[in-house]
Chain A
Amino acid sequence: MINENDPSTLTTSGRLVNYNDAIKSGLETGLKFTQLMDQLIKTNDADKLVAAATELANFTLDSDFVTFPHQYSNADYYLLFMSRMLELHDQGKNVILQSRDHREELTQQLTPLGDRGTFNFRVESSENGGVFYRERATGQSLFYLNLERKMFRFNSHALTQLFIIDLHDTVPAETVKTSVKILLDFARYLKEDYGYSVDFNILDAANRQNYAVRSADLPAGVVDRLFVTAAKNDYMLTNGVNGNGAEIQLDKGVVLDIFNNQLEGQPEWVMTVHDDDQKVSWFDVLLKYPFMRDWYLEDLTDLEIASDPLIFA
């Protein structure tokens, strides 16, 4: 009896046909790959770009019968995708893609930041999938991206560690701002053009954004400390409008509120940053006001803005 799945039952020519088919399919996979690469590298159509990146993100190039010795990692396609996406929005010059000699591996720099940061993507190995955008020297994962699930999540902890702490003394605030804006814009394109679910976290300048702090039940001393330090810097912390928190009027109509968002049940302390143009985020406040930065960092254990707990455990 001939069983197609059992080579031992096949005739010699049958085996050759099977072998040949397997190679063909392996080569087709290779061809498909080159098409997707063409699309990723050359297309000027943002939709096709996203489609190519999404397919490449999980593409398996090797098969049992055909393997390719020189391969970039899936993470590199994400870098390529990010660069191209920015390029299609006339921001191609804001990132620099670097490939290493003799090795198929890409890294990226943010143009304003130069060699103060080198970035790549790290593939998440759990079944969640997706990738983390990571600064290589510090290992800080600034955001998480998942093309299949159309998810984008900024990480408040990494943004604070890298930009508010590590680079604070050596990189001017304005440079940090323009560098972070590149990441912000990338996320914005994904949200606005492709309906991605994006958590901008501490970069979110929308007035409605509630930044939840890590310690849901904030110790009273934390707000007291802000009151005292603000007064020393000629800002007055007043009672919040809603009566269960505090408010501070900064410059140019920027108002920061810190309050318990739950009047009943479990407390949930949050911060908001209001400005008429909705252009100022908590991150911007940290960059602009040294006393706010000092206050935030001193009680970071309690105050750190929470990131998506399912992604950044």
Chain B
Amino acid sequence: MDNQEQQASAADVLTQAIASKLDYLSTLQAAVQHSDDRQVYELLDQVRYYEEVKKTRSTRSVNHLAELVDNIHPQIAHYLSDKLIDYLGHIYPFFYYEEYTTGLFHIYFGNWWDRRLFGDLDVINVRFDFDKTEYQKLRDSFALESQNQRLNTAKIESISAESEQLQSLVDAQATRDNQKSELRDQLKENSGKSSLPWDSGKLKDERQRIIDQLTKLADEDEKALNAHKLIKANDDKILVLSKEDTILNYEKQSIRDSFDDFEHFEAHNASLYADYLNSLLGKSEGEVTVDD
């Protein structure tokens, strides 16, 4: 091959490459124009589409054409979200979505007070990206249910016990005051006793015993003084925990209403892509039937 021939063939190859990109883009454009979301999804990830929807291996080799539209994913997601969120609304009636910036969606769980920000909706991949911490709390909360416990039951009980203890310290103030005055009298008596050599060791021991008891009571007095503040702080902690339990309870109830249990919920999430595209497939096939 001479240079010219080489040049020509290189141009052919490039033309071909450009043509296939143009073809990809114009097919995508046509799909959008015809509101054929199913085809848009197919074009975005052909490998996944064939594996999960067609249940066959993609006959085509991986062509990376989808990378062409990587930088317009926000616009694509914004476009696709319309039908997807409509579909999700029927299956997950307890999720609420907020498009916080073009094509990016926060998921909120429920419409109750201080509902949780539960993660993001990945429209392009038809997938929930749940917040790991929040999701784990929900999972744990389901697991604890068999033991008739809520997520924070144990914590609330231990804080309540602490508050009760503090309260009894406060309530016992009068008793302590009596004990202290008795002990002080004993102390006076002790120091007044003649210190015969053979008694001095005993008296000293007794004196120490009284002082130890007084110190212990003084410590309790000090704790009692701070008790109200601590009890108030404990109340605030309990409120936060009860609130979380209440929210988790609403979440569990929502999941049970729609999916019976957590396992079914997770199974649905796992097959969301295939389920959604099949539903679109069903629709477009339906349209074809009507046209026929």
Contact = CB atoms under 8 A, between A and B. Distances in A.
A273 to B, nearest CB: 18
B100 interface: no
Interface of A: 221, 223-228, 231, 236-239, 246
9 contacts: A228-B239, A228-B242, A231-B246, A231-B250, A236-B112, A238-B112, A238-B113, A239-B112, A239-B115
Interface in B28-72: none
Interface in B80-114: 111-114
B249 interface: yes
B112 A225 contact: no
Contact of A221 (B112, B115, B239): B239
B151 to A, nearest CB: 14
Nearest to B235: A221
A302 B187 CA distance: 50
A221 B236 contact: yes
B243 A227 contact: yes
A227 B246 contact: yes
Given A221-B236, A221-B239, A228 B111 contact: no
B113 A227 contact: yes
Given A227-B112, A231-B250, 18 more contacts: A221-B236, A221-B239, A224-B239, A227-B114, A227-B246, A228-B239, A228-B246, A236-B112, A236-B250, A237-B112, A237-B113, A238-B111, A238-B112, A238-B113, A239-B112, A239-B113, A239-B115, A246-B113
Interface residues of B, number: 13
Interface in B182-230: none
Indicate the member of A228, A237, A238 with the most B CB atoms within 10 Å: A228
Nearest to B115: A239
A165 B24 CA distance: 75
Nearest to A225: B239
A226 to B, nearest CB: 8
Contacts, number: 34
B111 A239 contact: yes
Given A238-B113, A239-B112, A231 B239 contact: no
Nearest to A245: B113
The 7 tightest CB contacts between A and B, nearest first, are A237-B113, A227-B113, A231-B246, A228-B242, A246-B113, A224-B243, A238-B111
A248 B98 CA distance: 23
A221 B114 CA distance: 11
Contacts of B250: 231, 236
B140 to A, nearest CB: 19
A238 B112 CA distance: 4
A226 B243 CA distance: 10
A231 B150 CA distance: 14
Contacts of A228: 239, 242-243, 246
A246 B242 CA distance: 18
Contacts of A224: 113-114, 239-240, 243
Contacts of A236: 112, 250
B59 to A, nearest CB: 50
Contacts of A225: 239
Interface in B228-283: 236, 239-240, 242-243, 246, 249-250
Contacts of B111: 238-239
A223 B243 CA distance: 10
B249 A231 contact: yes
B205 to A, nearest CB: 52
Contacts of A227: 112-114, 243, 246
A224 B112 CA distance: 11
A236 B250 CA distance: 9
B99 to A, nearest CB: 15
Contacts of A231: 246, 249-250
Contacts of A221: 236, 239
A198 to B, nearest CB: 34
Nearest to A247: B113
A231 B246 CA distance: 7
A22 to B, nearest CB: 68
